[in-house]
């Protein structure tokens, strides 16, 4: 598949600072003179945003149904938004992607890894991020930050600390298994510090 741009994803648990850092990274890359598209999951395209409302709206889907729906949304996002942007030479920064399914539906809710990888194969046809930044911080700090953000908790944020610890452990395992694609970022320092570390890391890995 022809691809001229670069695809970067940010991952991590609730309140890790992904949205904040995705915006900071977009600004940094724009300063480098690069064309940037900032997007998010679930969502990032009209159909996928409709599926996001179903996913986060507490419809009470079972974990496998959730995984199927998240990949339907991801497929729409890929085809409608990500691929065209990459083909046009843009640097795509995406707030969450397939690693969130591995962590939340897989490590968090017990969907078998083989099923998730099979769905990823069908939906993505081998396309994925060149670089994934995994923002890591203790669960209690992330949850406190998410609460301070001041919007109503979504259904995942309402789940207990043990669930969120499985998510954190899951992201760490994913990053350890794919060091060529993933980079762990300590998300406990302040916004400026984390942004500077991410900018340096991206400049080094994707000059």
Cβ-in-10-Å burial (0-12, 13-18, 19+) of 77 comes to buried
Residue closer to ligand T5A (CB basis): 145 or 172 = 145
CB of 2 to ligand T5A, least distance (A): 26
| Residue 83, number of CB atoms within 10 A of its CB | 19
Candidates 123, 44, 122; CA nearest to 85 is 44
With binding defined as CB under 6 A, does residue 11 bind ligand T5A?
A: no
Residue closer to ligand T5A (CB basis): 88 or 162 = 162
Sheet order of strands, 182-186 included: 36-40, 91-95, 6-12, 131-136, 182-186
Residue that the structure tokens 């915006």 belong to = 23
With binding defined as CB under 6 A, does residue 41 bind ligand T5A?
A: yes
CB of 92 to ligand T5A, least distance (A): 15
For residue 199, give both structure tokens: 């900018």
CB of 21 to ligand T5A, least distance (A): 7
With binding defined as CB under 6 A, does residue 171 bind ligand T5A?
A: no
Residue closer to ligand T5A (CB basis): 48 or 85 = 48
Q: Give the binding-site size for ligand T5A (rule: CB under 6 A).
A: 26
Residue closer to ligand T5A (CB basis): 126 or 190 = 190
With binding defined as CB under 6 A, does residue 76 bind ligand T5A?
A: no
CB of 205 to ligand T5A, least distance (A): 21
CB of 6 to ligand T5A, least distance (A): 20
User: CB of 22 within 8 A of CB of 10?
Assistant: yes
With binding defined as CB under 6 A, does residue 26 bind ligand T5A?
A: no
CA distances for 182 relative to 49, 133, 139, 154, 161, angstroms: 26, 6, 20, 27, 25
The one among 34, 47, 79, 154 contacting ligand T5A by CB under 6 A: 154
């Amino acid at each position: 598949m022809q691809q001229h741009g670069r695809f970067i994803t940010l991952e991590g648990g609730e309140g890790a600072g992904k949205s904040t850092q995705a915006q900071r990274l977009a600004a940094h890359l724009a300063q480098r003179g690069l064309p940037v598209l900032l997007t998010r999951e679930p969502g990032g395209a009209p159909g996928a945003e409709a599926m996001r409302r179903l996913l986060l709206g507490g419809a009470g889907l079972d974990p496998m149904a959730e995984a199927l729906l998240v990949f339907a949304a991801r497929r729409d996002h890929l085809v409608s938004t990500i691929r065209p942007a990459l083909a046009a030479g843009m640097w795509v920064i995406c707030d969450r992607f397939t690693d969130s399914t591995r962590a939340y539906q897989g490590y968090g809710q017990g969907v078998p890894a083989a099923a998730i990888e099979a769905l990823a194969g069908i939906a993505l046809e081998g396309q994925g991020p060149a670089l994934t930044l995994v923002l890591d911080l203790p669960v209690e700090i992330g949850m406190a930050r998410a609460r301070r953000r001041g919007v109503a908790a979504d259904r995942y944020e309402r789940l207990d600390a043990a669930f969120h610890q499985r998510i954190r452990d899951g992201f760490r395992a994913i990053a350890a298994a794919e060091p060529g694609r993933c980079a762990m970022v300590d998300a406990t320092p302040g916004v400026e510090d984390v942004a500077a570390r991410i900018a340096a890391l991206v400049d080094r890995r994707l000059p």
